[in-house]
A = this chain, B = another copy of it.
Amino acid sequence: MRTTSEKECSLDLNLDVAELTARLVDIPSESGSEKSIADAVEQALRTLPHLTVDRFANNVVARTFLGRAERVVLAGHLDTVPAAANVPSRLDDDGVLWGCGTSDMKSGLAVQLRIAATVTEPDRDLTFVFYEQEEVAAHLNGLGRIADAHPDWLSGDFAVLLEPSNGQVEGGCQGTLRVLLRTAGERAHSARSWMGANAIHAAGPILARLAAYEPRKPVIDGLEYREGLNAVRIEGGVANNVIPDECTVTVNFRYAPDRTEEEALAHVKETFADCGIEEFTVGNLSGAALPGLSHPAAVAFMKAVGGRAMPKFGWTDVSRFAGLGVPAVNYGPGDALFAHRRDEHVETKAIAHCEERLRAWLGQQLAP
């Protein structure tokens, strides 16, 4: 027996892409609660005879097996940040759709679903990936978990992540490294400070080094990246009358995709080599992704979608494709500036434009 609520979660892939976006927004899918939307997506995809559908946890992958020379991947995450009294969706008179996930990234998911339903004879084999838990801790990320458990599901020559990029192609992504730099001292009563050694004072050279650091702006595949080395946190102190024996500076290095993870780490270690650091701890290290814009599938993609590619400064899941040897770009209809906001929205014509450009790339027009 089906309950009404389950029935409500079915998706009609014949809706136009804006209506389909609204339907997806109206199925709440905060990270960790993606079952309903994953069920709806899986059910809809299983009705399409040209696709082979697989499921793993709340991750759904659908593929064509047409024996084409190339395979391309379209991917997007099913989850959103918690809603902020902005669900269900609302379409205004100017053709703008408002609501949680409209931009990040249910409009992108709607494009994927429309392409899946309508491009039945693509000139490249297609893989559609719908995954869970992108907005939360990295180890929960559905794309990462598929990459670990079923890497073959993600294989391909080129991938497009439909994250909001305002309809512009964003190539690759910068890497991010977080390290904790700890200085040490010796506690003493602050009335007899000469009996101790002040670990906060010892952090001075770290801050001076950071302030003087000159980040690179390397050009890769025609895109200018911008690195950055910054303290994002500093903590030290025991009590108001105690000379502190410990101080920790958390540093975030955002690095361009011409460095490997190892090179990025070595660079940061070298930068602070003579700063009197007692302990150097790696908190997080996520690799960069080369834009890969010289790959034939990418060249064809750029030609089809038009515009000029931009570098991606933030870290995104394209890096996970890079880790599997698949060049990847971000290209989606939403505007990242409005993601995670109460006033999140997307222009419906931008969604339609994205769908139309991807269809052109894949060599099919929509039947009139």
Measured CB to CB, the residues of A under 8 A from B are 174, 176, 178, 189-194, 198, 200-204, 207-208, 210-211, 215, 226, 228, 230-244, 247, 249-250, 252, 254, 283-284, 313-315
Contact = CB atoms under 8 A, between A and B. Distances in A.
A262 B352 CA distance: 70
B208 A208 contact: yes
Given A190-B230, A232-B238, 20 more contacts: A176-B241, A190-B252, A191-B313, A191-B315, A192-B228, A193-B230, A193-B254, A194-B226, A198-B231, A200-B207, A200-B232, A201-B207, A201-B231, A203-B234, A204-B210, A208-B208, A232-B242, A233-B236, A233-B237, A233-B244
Contact of A198 (B200, B230, B239, B243): B230
A89 to B, nearest CB: 26
A313 to B, nearest CB: 5
A210 B193 CA distance: 12
Contact of A233 (B226, B240, B314): B240
Contact of A250 (B176, B193, B237): B237
B232 A247 contact: no
A208 B204 CA distance: 5
Nearest to A247: B234
A201 B191 contact: no
A37 B269 CA distance: 60
A195 B226 CA distance: 11
28 contacts: A174-B191, A176-B191, A190-B232, A190-B254, A191-B254, A191-B314, A191-B315, A192-B226, A192-B314, A198-B210, A198-B211, A200-B210, A200-B230, A200-B234, A201-B211, A202-B211, A203-B207, A204-B207, A204-B211, A207-B207, A208-B208, A230-B243, A232-B237, A232-B241, A233-B244, A234-B236, A234-B237, A240-B252
Given A191-B314, A313-B192, A239 B232 contact: yes
A231 B238 CA distance: 11
Nearest to A199: B231
B241 A236 contact: no
Contacts of A283: 240
Contacts of A250: 237, 240
Given A207-B200, A207-B201, A211-B201, A193 B228 contact: yes
